[in-house]
Amino acid sequence: MNKRNFILGATTVALLAIDVCAFFKNPSTTNITSMLKNNEQKRTKTMPPAAIAASSSGSQPPAVNMSAKEQKTAKIWNRFADGYAKQPIKDEESYQKKLEMTREYMAPHSKVLEFGCGTGGTALLHAPYVSSVHAIDISSRMIEIAKQRQKETGIENVDFQCTGIDSMDVPDESYDIVLGLSVLHLLPNKDGVMKKIYNKLKPGGYFMSSTICMGDMSRMIRWVTSPLSFLGVLPELNIFTKAELTQSMEQAGFTIEGEFQSGKDKAAVFLVARKL
């Protein structure tokens, strides 16, 4: 293979990987920039004064060391972070629907955790409706982009931190709401993560998740993604069905209270689960 063909091949694989990563991870913030600008006036009217004071103090969640597996996966996302950030939201209508459903459970006093926050667009959009958002991601580059967007928008009640859900160390019953958007299928141990989320929620708290259930997808998709994951081009993907996902939530102690599936992507399911 000559150098030109090698470069073309490598570029094709990279572009494919970026596109697939954008499909499997949280929506990027290309479209979200305009949404944030539209929310600016709303933000200043609705943000609780206590939240502004707390965020202005400069306090940040404690830094946490990530596991070796998280660090390995983080390197993959770091490679694709800039390309991913430029990807537009593929299904704007469904994204807006999920935002609206989530906000039905938010209140000015709500403390929110979002894990796998990507470049931070969703966390920043929800910030005006709650007291605080602790947004985490294992990709340091994703967090850098998120902090830059936060600086550009002036939103103050979001704390972005580079860590993973398995490595974060906060007391149990710390949050009213936990968000896991397009991320559970990227974690090797969804059952263990589900239990940890349950413990971090206050009694009566809510876990909102948007998940691609690859077990309900065509085998062709798995044939394409599995080799890329094996080669380290894509992160490891956890394959399970919607039925297995809901069972995992219920075994952790959650009750499913809401559900949404877009007609465009029936393998992706948005669930609202409550801790009783």
What pLDDT shows up at residue 233?
A: 67
Alpha carbons 156 and 150: distance in angstroms, whole number: 8
| Alpha carbon separation from 74 to 67, 131, 143, 221, 232 (Å, rounded) | 10, 29, 11, 23, 11
**pLDDT tens across 188-226, in order?**
899 999 999 999 999 999 999 999 998 888 776 667 766
Label the pairing between strands 201-212 and 254-260: unpaired
123: number of Cβ within 10 Å: 30
User: How far apart, in whole angstroms, are the C-alpha atoms of residue 32 and residue 208?
Assistant: 20
pTM above 0.75, yes or no: yes
Over its length of 276 residues, how does the chain's per-residue pLDDT go in tens digits?
443 333 334 334 444 444 445 555 656 555 665 566 565 544 444 444 444 333 333 333 344 578 888 888 899 899 989 998 998 888 899 999 999 999 999 999 999 999 999 999 999 999 999 999 999 999 999 999 999 999 999 999 999 999 999 889 899 999 999 999 999 999 989 999 999 999 999 999 999 999 999 888 877 666 776 666 666 667 778 889 999 999 999 999 999 999 999 877 778 999 999 999
- Reported as a single tens digit per residue, the pLDDT across 130-154 is 999 999 999 999 999 999 999 999 9
Q: Give the pLDDT score at 32.
A: 60
pLDDT of residue 50: 42
pLDDT of res. 200: 98
| Domains in the chain: ranges and CATH | 3-275 (3.40.50.150)
pLDDT at 247: 97
What's the Cα-to-Cα distance from 158 to each of 22, 59, 268, rounded to whole Å? 23, 11, 27
